Structure 1
């Protein structure tokens, strides 16, 4: 792919070319042509592969980055879609086998050309594809022990709400019905938590996510988020997602509560809920399962100070929290429920914008 000289900038200095940018990029980066030949490699790639650039350029990407998963090799090197492969085992260049994240991005207006970045320190440790299930199971085991004690007062709360509703107060009726619905949902969730250690699959089907997001936002605004401005920006053309209703409501409540707690002391606390359809977003599932296509995106964005840097890599692990009185189970449960729906959850921090984002990706259903 030929890259011509860039026009001079307004300051009279020559703008960097694409080749210059690739060379300076602080992550091992390869430019691959439509025939799967490596057309360019930066210094970080030379170091990672333990090969000179002259040996890398012109080589076949499928031989230079050899996938341990045969199915994964086809998924990654023979697709024209953006692809993220997390925690994959590769034999790279002249180095020993290693675990990496691979990001493949097509170059717009250049059919078949791609940029491949190789991240040695796995980003999947920072997001939802955690495979250390022991800690999660211990947390859920503790939750199961508490379940019996929690369900008893729930039944009393429901009974009290029904008595209030029988007084025929039209204004109270909506709120008491909300209490009954939430008690039923929490009771069902506790039942579910009691067998989290069994890996029993969630019952999922194609559903409209918007009533469920709205329900979680209403609950937040009526309780822990009543002093926070919650705004929503929805993609009106979004198709149904394959989800479990109660699980998605719980995920959204946990994320909104997490945001509300992070916004304590912030002068103008705000939370944005944004949805979008992301064409071509795929995640490598591993274990020979190939790709998961997850185009349904839900973002929960807050303008709080963010998660302490020392726990960001372990944010979704149980009992990890930056809050003085927190238990560290809310995000662990988010991770568990999203994975049970065959989805993906990711934490991102933009210090320049002063925003923290939790990103959920879900499979698409028909509807």
Structure 2
């Protein structure tokens, strides 16, 4: 079936292939095309299923009435913006369906002012760890984790004391290494304190800060240990402004992502990891709870040339205890997701099949001095 859009320039044909309209019809994601006046111009088959409405009823309807934000007291209007918008884990009433939680993407159509493509992902790919239900088993696991955290902190204090004694006995020799031990012990102790509140909504203290010393610190730890045989390449945007961050949290996030990349490169002949930064104009995420949309222009990329995440865990990649590694515990990426969200940011995974690269993308808010 060929789909045509009224008042839209003719869709081009791909050589020896289906038209763009036919491709839209076959998309596995619910997709709408919206006019400048917010009326829906087109809907694919998946949208009919998700909205529980026939295409004839969808086309011509007001998108704000067809997809209604369910959060009480919401002060934001996603339907009157010409910027790209990504709304993750947002509750909506869609068509004739009951309230559901979705990832909603709005992308302006280039050279057609006011026209937008809207996609709805019914199963969120980035659920908030703090909002997941906790069964009795999960509560027991968290109780055990709290006991384990307490037991770990005792030997940490001993390690720190030993490092200080070693530094004094060496007369200042190897001071950099002993200071590194002390710094890492302090960071791990702070992390354990944070892990004890893993399922709470306690606010993480953030401040405007320079991300580069923190990224370099994490890269230095990686290069001295788990990634010592892997080339780490840095491509930094020198004009990047301060981000709103927690220093220890960002270091931990970067260490976890670098370690994840290093483990993925175990059997790669020429392993490499790239760390890149950029400023992305117009990137915003609807944060929910009536708080409006957050602008997240600070981008950090961790890219590796490994085989990528196994297909069967993609939808649950940031959930605790989900891992594609034989000896993995499935907590590294869950903690990354938790800490990035605590900094009011967002993390996502993508795979470039042609380049043979996997990318973890962190988006953070800009720090206001």
Distance in 1 separating the partners of 2:176 and 2:246:
24
CA positional deviation for 1:133 = 5.5
Unaligned runs of 5+ in 1: none
Q: After alignment, is 221-230 or 187-196 more displaced?
A: 187-196
Residue aligning to 1:347:
349
Residues of 1 paired with 2:160 and 2:72: CA distance? 54
Give the distance between the partners of 2:196 and 2:48, measured in 1 at CA. 50
Partner of 1:270: 272
Q: Is the 8 A contact 2:130 2:200 kept in 1?
A: no
The CA distance in 2 between the partners of 1:156 and 1:73, in whole Å, is 51
Equivalent of residue 230 in structure 2, options 209, 228, 232: 228
Distance 1:87 1:333, change over 3 A: closer
Q: How many residues get paired? A: 360
Q: Which TM-score applies when normalising by structure 1?
A: 0.87
Q: Separation in 1 of the partners of 2:291 and 2:68?
A: 18
Mapped pair 1:131 → 2:131: yes
Consecutive unaligned residues of structure 2, counting only runs of 5 or more, are 1-6
Residue 324 of structure 1 is matched in structure 2 by 326
Change (3 A) 1:243 1:73: closer
1:65–1:195 Cα change, 3 Å:
closer
Pair 1:258-2:260 in alignment:
yes
Residues 204 and 243 in structure 1, CA contact (< 8 A), matched pair in contact too: yes
2:123 aligned to 121, 124, 127, which one? 121
5 Å matches for 1:1-367?
Answer: 1-4=7-10, 6=12, 13=15, 19-69=21-71, 74-125=76-127, 131-132=131-132, 134=134, 141-166=143-168, 167-168=170-171, 170=173, 172-366=174-368
1:114: how far off? 0.9
1:198: how far off? 4.3
Partners of 1:115 and 1:269 lie apart in 2 by: 38
Contact 1:124 1:130 in 2 (8 A): no
- Residues 219, 91 of structure 1: CA spacing in aligned structure 2 closer, same or farther, 3 A cutoff? same
Q: 1:351 to 1:129 in 2, by over 3 A?
A: farther
**Larger helix fraction of residues:** 1
The 10-residue stretch of structure 1 (334-343 or 83-92) with the greater mean CA deviation from structure 2: 83-92
State how far apart, in whole Å, the 2-side matches of 1:329 and 1:357 are.
18
Q: Using the TM superposition, give the Cα deviation of residue 273 of structure 1 relative to its aligned residue in structure 2, in angstroms.
A: 1.0
Other structure's SS at 2:229 match: coil
- Aligned mates of 2:96, 2:201 — CA distance in 1: 39
Give the TM-score taking structure 2 as reference length: 0.87
Measure, in 2, the Cα distance between the counterparts of 1:211 and 1:322: 31
